[in-house]
Structure 1
Amino acid sequence: MYKRLPLFLILFFIGQILCKAQVPGFFMKEDKRKVTLPFYSSNSLIILPVSINGSTPLNFLIDTGVRSNILFSKTLGDALDLEYTRRIKLVGADGTEDLMASVSPINNFDLGPIEGIFQSLLVLEQEFLELESVIGIPVYGILGYEFFKYNPVKINYDDGKIIFYKSGALKWKPLFYRKVNMEVLDNKPYINVTVKQKDGSVLKPKLLIDTGANHGLLLNRETSENITMPSLFIESALGQSLGGILYGYVGRIDYMKLANFKLDEVLTSYPNETPYSYVIKESGRSGSLGAEVLGRTRLIFDYQRNRLLVRKAENFYAPFQFDMSGMSLKKIIDDDNRIYISEVRPGSPAGRAGLQAYDEIMVINKVPTFIWDLAEINKLLRSDPGKKIELEVRRYDGDDVSKYTDLKFTLILKQQI
């Protein structure tokens, strides 16, 4: 004969269930130890389809470097019938532009076997569509801290899969993984690594782990007088942020150790100081680790236990290669796969060949551009020194797209750093 549970225990269990149901976060829909989410990867950036309040799935970037979930378009937010409670001002990463965002406080995110409940969204009032032009596919927003805060999350770049674990799982370190102490401050994860610079000095900088940044190692010189530039570097645009394009320099360090795994000749970005630099200084960090390094590993983020678990991926020892053409490419945001040159570095192979900014690339090595992915083209342009690249481009006469000249160019890739 079964004994009856005391009333206070019944109420306690009901209270526990209700409390869990009311806590904002990401949870598995079924009671399992883990579930798997396949993701699309572009230059090791992680993109997942997310349905908002029952909408058609939209591509979102998984980004440990941001605190809040972000939607890039107020027009899209209105079409989704989002409810807004207030407006706030955001500061772009370059510190020169204020961005206004509307706050939508309660939303449901559906990722198949996972759902995000009571999720707040910052909806940018100024359309931000630049990620599509850089990545090559539409990206409508960012999932940040909320995705990681309760559950261990394994990112397997080799297989293009995220494994989302039950919150109590992974009490023990999996085989072949090494533990790195991780500190979560202001909803962002930080670790310390070892860096040997080209002048022979050794640093142990505190770095933000930033899965949403496409650089490798980034060091902010304004945070420490011990950060030195290598003698060989080039001036370059470093990446696209919400506040605009970040500029600075790219060079190499001698090596970096992550969990005692050694990476040689790591490409390193040195951004120019900006009005936003005070935020970086106040955080105590000296830079960040981006997808170019993280994509060479398998990672387990375990925010609840303040640890990052690291294992080498198949491409861990692949050399770090920078663009060897001297031109930056972007996709025209329309239904066609059209690629144009956004910038040409003076004195580079592309510059010496005569290519110019705003030339539209029509054919690469006799293959029409619409067949290429933007990521494939960028991979080609950083492949092998001495490789010959044949381009057919269309050069327009000012803003009149009906007037143009079709031209042919040949350039030879050359390693510049």
Structure 2
Amino acid sequence: MHPGIKQLFLFFLVFFFALSLQSQVPGFYMKKEKRKVDLPFIDSNSLIILPVSINGGPEVNFLFDTGVKSNIFFSKTLADQMDMQYTRKLNLVGADGKTVLSASVSPNNHFDLGPVEGIFQAILVLDEDFLELEKVIGIPVYGVIGHEFFKNNPIKIDYDNASVGFYKRTALKWRPFGFRKMDIEIDGNKPYIASTIRQANGPDLQSKLLIDTGANHGLLLNMETSEDIVLPETTLESDLGRSLGGDLFGYVGRVKRLGIHGLKFRNVITSYPEENEFSEVIIGTGRNGSLGSDVLNRMKIIFDYPRERILFKKGAKFSNEFKYDMSGLMVRVYSAENKRFYISQVRENSPAHRQGVEAFDEIITINKIPAAFWELSDITDLLRSVEGKVISLELLRRDPEDETASTLHKITFLLEEQL
């Protein structure tokens, strides 16, 4: 072979071998080379939910969450039906220091999102669906996709149009028109930003916050991370939700202002979880809290992990008021398929509590509209809509001593702002 031809042959051999190696690196990639593809997502209280097919199986809903390191699957039964292969077992200790979750590790799975695919994806498969997200979100969600989706490519979250933009890795060398640029810190495969917070009581804070697209709060502050974090005078004791770390309890109030690189959010609803055994881990990260979807949904955001930055600008909801529930009710779903809703908790001295609503009452109608015509997100919006609005409920209350006996209760109350 002629030396020049031989060198050219070796060059192409190395080139194609390099491409082959690149395609084998675990991650998410476009199936066809483009600058950008768009993935429409299901918006449920501003959480990002996309249908995903695993290993050629049927599409199931996944929550896309910057606050999670690993991909997680909630249904061991369904994972077995998808022929997932497991290599080892893990025991995960929750944030409450008591909850132990067992999980199986399944390596080398293929994720199909239409124009985007994830290759060689490891999944933690929980032996028990501890989160029960369907009850909280109102639609079936079978898992969480975390850092792997965001790590290699710029990802644009457009809450206004319920769309995820997946960019070519080399795209966005220059900042798009109208977007601000801010450095982020990727620590433990999670993104953090700096912010300034003006409290209702207490000094101004310079805070490190986790960006958590999988949380539906606005701002969360961990009081144990700084003695300067002070509860507002007006707070409500509340169940703050459930995570893989366990149940969170604490208080809800407001801060006067949250500043993010020139953007100012006013009177932000803020959660203050109680200190627990997981607090040492939070303190170890150096963070003071997290930003959830009730703040993030007011912006258009591009996560650019490879360049350790975010690009962002105001969205259509930027000037909307931060609203909190005015009924005192926490509504959950028995079955999203059959549209059956129930009251999981009633806050003491709230409008609903004073009129006799009880936990585990099943909702039959809301303002004379049958429950089957409602979505959980619509009920949530209604109960935080306008002070003084009339809410009429028909509730089915079962006898705890006789499961076959029940009574129908008609209850009316007015929404009342308590924060």
Partner of residue 29, structure 2: 27
Partner of residue 94, structure 1: 96
Partner of residue 412, structure 1: 414
- Give the AA of the match of 2:327: S
Q: How many Å separate the matches in 1 of 2:249 and 2:359?
A: 17
1:221-273 CA-partner distances (Å, limit 9, x unpaired): 00110111111101001112124421100000010011211000000000001
Q: How many Å separate the matches in 2 of 1:38 and 1:258?
A: 27
Partner of residue 258, structure 1: 260
- Give the AA of the match of 1:64: T
Q: Is the 8 A contact 1:99 1:243 kept in 2?
A: no
Instruction: Note the residue ranges of structure 2 that are not aligned, 5 or more in a row.
Output: none
Q: Is the 8 A contact 1:96 1:243 kept in 2?
A: no
Instruction: Quote the offset at 1:53 in angstroms.
Output: 0.1
Partner of residue 297, structure 1: 299
- The answer to whether the aligner puts 1:268 opposite 2:274 as a matched pair is no
Partner of residue 353, structure 2: 351
Partner of residue 146, structure 1: 148
Q: How many Å separate the matches in 2 of 1:177 and 1:203?
A: 25
- Give the AA of the match of 1:148: F
Partner of residue 115, structure 1: 117
Q: Is the 8 A contact 2:138 2:336 kept in 1?
A: no
Q: How many Å separate the matches in 2 of 1:296 and 1:92?
A: 31
What secondary structure sits across from 2:229 in the alignment? coil
Partner of residue 42, structure 1: 44
Q: How many Å separate the matches in 2 of 1:210 and 1:95?
A: 22
C-alpha RMSD over aligned residues: 1.3
Instruction: Quote the offset at 1:94 in angstroms.
Output: 3.3
Q: How many Å separate the matches in 2 of 1:186 and 1:39?
A: 26
Instruction: Quote the offset at 1:7 in angstroms.
Output: 3.1
Query: Of 183, 186, 207, which residue of structure 1 is paired with 2:185?
Result: 183
Partner of residue 194, structure 1: 196
Q: How many Å separate the matches in 2 of 1:349 and 1:376?
A: 19
What secondary structure sits across from 1:385 in the alignment? coil
What secondary structure sits across from 2:331 in the alignment? strand
Q: How many Å separate the matches in 2 of 1:327 and 1:334?
A: 19
Q: How many Å separate the matches in 1 of 2:78 and 2:309?
A: 37
Q: Is the 8 A contact 2:140 2:336 kept in 1?
A: no
Partner of residue 9, structure 2: 7
Q: How many Å separate the matches in 1 of 2:294 and 2:96?
A: 21
Query: Of 384, 387, 396, which residue of structure 1 is paired with 2:386?
Result: 384
Q: How many Å separate the matches in 2 of 1:128 and 1:228?
A: 32
Instruction: Quote the offset at 1:377 in angstroms.
Output: 0.4
What secondary structure sits across from 2:316 in the alignment? coil
Q: Which is further off, 75-84 or 89-98?
A: 89-98
Q: Is the 8 A contact 1:130 1:240 kept in 2?
A: no
Instruction: Note the residue ranges of structure 1 that are not aligned, 5 or more in a row.
Output: none
Partner of residue 159, structure 2: 157
- Give the AA of the match of 2:210: L
Task: Describe how 1:50-89 pairs up with structure 2 within 5 A.
Answer: 50-89=52-91
Q: How many Å separate the matches in 1 of 2:202 and 2:227?
A: 15
What secondary structure sits across from 1:253 in the alignment? strand
Instruction: Quote the offset at 1:134 in angstroms.
Output: 0.7
Q: How many Å separate the matches in 1 of 2:161 and 2:360?
A: 36
What secondary structure sits across from 1:193 in the alignment? strand
1:359-384 CA-partner distances (Å, limit 9, x unpaired): 00100001001100010001000000
Partner of residue 372, structure 1: 374
Instruction: Quote the offset at 1:3 in angstroms.
Output: 7.3
Q: How many Å separate the matches in 1 of 2:81 and 2:130?
A: 16
Instruction: Quote the offset at 1:5 in angstroms.
Output: 5.6
Partner of residue 399, structure 2: 397
- Give the AA of the match of 2:237: E
How many residue pairs align between the two structures? 416
Q: Which is further off, 384-393 or 90-99?
A: 90-99
1:176-208 CA-partner distances (Å, limit 9, x unpaired): 111111010110000011101112521111011
Query: Of 238, 242, 247, which residue of structure 1 is paired with 2:249?
Result: 247
Instruction: Quote the offset at 1:88 in angstroms.
Output: 1.1
Q: Is the 8 A contact 2:131 2:242 kept in 1?
A: no
What secondary structure sits across from 1:380 in the alignment? helix
Q: How many Å separate the matches in 2 of 1:408 and 1:331?
A: 20
Q: How many Å separate the matches in 2 of 1:312 and 1:36?
A: 20
- Give the AA of the match of 1:65: G
Q: Which is further off, 99-108 or 241-250?
A: 241-250
Cα 1:293/1:334, change in 2 over 3 Å: closer
Q: Is the 8 A contact 2:156 2:303 kept in 1?
A: yes
Instruction: Quote the offset at 1:334 in angstroms.
Output: 6.1
Cα 1:228/1:200, change in 2 over 3 Å: closer
- Give the AA of the match of 1:175: F
Q: How many Å separate the matches in 1 of 2:335 and 2:125?
A: 20
Q: Is the 8 A contact 2:390 2:412 kept in 1?
A: yes
TM-score, normalised via structure 1 length: 0.98
- Give the AA of the match of 1:194: T
Q: How many Å separate the matches in 2 of 1:5 and 1:366?
A: 79
Q: How many Å separate the matches in 1 of 2:377 and 2:113?
A: 25
Q: What percentage of residue pairs aligned between the two structures are identical?
A: 54
Q: Is the 8 A contact 1:91 1:97 kept in 2?
A: yes
1:50-70 CA-partner distances (Å, limit 9, x unpaired): 000001000000000010000
